[in-house]
A and B are shown apart, each in its own frame.
Chain A
């Protein structure tokens, strides 16, 4: 259960982000900047699972990467466990890196195809200099079992594994460093529902056992509702609504949240669901007609 007095681990205050616009032409070798995040404020406590939801272009992935300092904020303040890391250099960050980890969307591209699973997972371990081989191997087996994988898979290459297995390897690599904060970026969007259910059950269990601060980025509100304690809804680089999962889903305040929720096809056939026009669609159709 979530402790409301748990210490805040990740704190972003009014962070903004501008990145080079990849669609714009280069001018003298540089691309013009485009605004990705408008001031965003967000904090995550130890042991808390926070969902970040939005459609494509909402800036949810950019916000996640910024929390890990894979992007440097253009303005605002970012702190990790009380330490200001807003503009910390990569060298300053390196010792903190193992405390903040990431699980990626595409296990295909996040696992180096030329490395065996053993070496991929061990990458998180070998940072403990001087660990003896047998201790390391024991730890690797423990990690594999912890994510529900057969330790025999350690000697395979990523392409020899199924999508669900690869995603478990991604999780094993992330928890290998015993992190405090983990960012999960759309980690189940490529998986079948039954595999998704397994991976999410695993993630929830690990987050509880390890008391992780977990930021879970997804476009899928249904997954977020059933996994997260709290949710922030993003649109066009801004947080449009924030609250505890149950409250926000049962009683959305923002129009956009309502539209998002309304757009999810319910599992029970509802003849009115497609029939009922969403706000604004009728006028659009009229203008077109």
Chain B
């Protein structure tokens, strides 16, 4: 006869599982910033995808008669141009929406590519150790010795401007962020007893890496991805600010900020709106990352 488990004495930090509501929904209620930041980013993404449909004007259409119109809430505004126009009479709202296409494309593609590359190398280095780790670690050390902004400008200057170059520059520079963190996290997880437990069950090293270790490392990657998207948005803006991003017939936030800077005294809105959107977007990515980290940790998810 087996004794039944004793009823638990109430203890600090103990938890009771509630049935009924799915746990991720419960989590979202506790992490409202994931909803807010995620909702904002989703909206931005939809606007970017359907830019031609939702933009009130053609972002490239110039009308010098309507140049530097103030936003709709100020005197002398044209209600057809909600956020005003720039010095060439182009609609700022439409340019912002189209600029989001470039910003989000770079953010998503660059972050995913850098994440994939860095994560794979980090996993291998952390799990197999030995010479694999030695090679990867030295590579990271050398890589991190280069000043990143200079390196990206140099890279784009070398391989030419354009969306692909910007993405490539970000991946080449930022894979180390993922690699470093994933390596140390893998190293830590590999020392846990559950990895030994899997060895004792006769699991192959590959199965252990993908089924046991990876799920415990993925949340960190998720967080890094989100942060990296924020970084990518900034890098793209910086590169287009200095004119090293996509060609000038495609609106970018960085390009708009650069143009607005020249006329900041008689048309503040030309620079302030793209800058605000940039800050807001980066903030949203960071908040999303932080919220996701708390949400995906089953121990924190109490």
* A residues adjacent to B (C-beta < 8 A): 29, 68, 70, 90, 93-98, 100-102, 104-106, 109-115, 123-124, 127, 145-150, 156-157, 159-160, 162, 164-165, 168, 170, 173, 177, 194-195, 198, 201-202, 205
The residue that A102 contacts in the complex, of B5, B200, B299, with Cβ under 8 A, is B200
Please determine whether B3 and A97 come into contact, CB atoms closer than 8 angstroms.
no
For residue B75, CB closer than 8 A to chain A, the reply is: no
Please determine whether B196 and A104 come into contact, CB atoms closer than 8 angstroms.
yes
For residue B142, CB closer than 8 A to chain A, the reply is: no
Q: Which residues of B contact A127 (CB under 8 A)?
A: 201-202
Contact A145:B6 (CB < 8 A) given known A114-B215, A127-B201:
no
Please determine whether A113 and B201 come into contact, CB atoms closer than 8 angstroms.
no
Please determine whether B299 and A156 come into contact, CB atoms closer than 8 angstroms.
no
The residue that A112 contacts in the complex, of B199, B202, B204, B216, with Cβ under 8 A, is B216
Q: Mark B175-213, 1 if CB is under 8 A from A, else 0.
A: 000000000000000001110111111111100000010
- Report the number of A-B residue pairs with Cβ-Cβ less than 8 Å: 94
* B residues adjacent to A (C-beta < 8 A): 2-6, 8, 14-15, 17, 134, 192-194, 196-205, 212, 215-216, 298-299, 302
CB distance from A10 to the nearest CB of B (A): 14
| B interface majority secondary structure | loop
What separation, in Å, do the CA atoms of A195 and B6 have in the docked complex? 8
CB distance from B249 to the nearest CB of A (A): 48
- Contacts beyond the supplied A97-B202, A101-B201, A156-B17: 6 A-B pairs with Cβ under 8 Å: A100-B200, A147-B2, A148-B4, A164-B6, A168-B5, A198-B6
Please determine whether B197 and A102 come into contact, CB atoms closer than 8 angstroms.
yes
CB distance from A287 to the nearest CB of B (A): 40
The residue that B202 contacts in the complex, of A95, A106, A146, with Cβ under 8 A, is A95
Q: List 8 A-B contacts (CB under 8 A).
A: A93-B202, A104-B193, A112-B216, A123-B198, A127-B201, A148-B4, A168-B5, A173-B197
Contact A146:B2 (CB < 8 A) given known A29-B134, A106-B193, A112-B212:
yes
| Closest chain B residue to A194, Cβ basis | B6
What separation, in Å, do the CA atoms of A171 and B194 have in the docked complex? 13
- Across the A-B interface, give the 10 residue pairs with the lowest CB-CB distance, nearest first: A97-B202, A110-B193, A148-B2, A104-B193, A112-B194, A94-B202, A109-B192, A114-B215, A109-B193, A102-B200
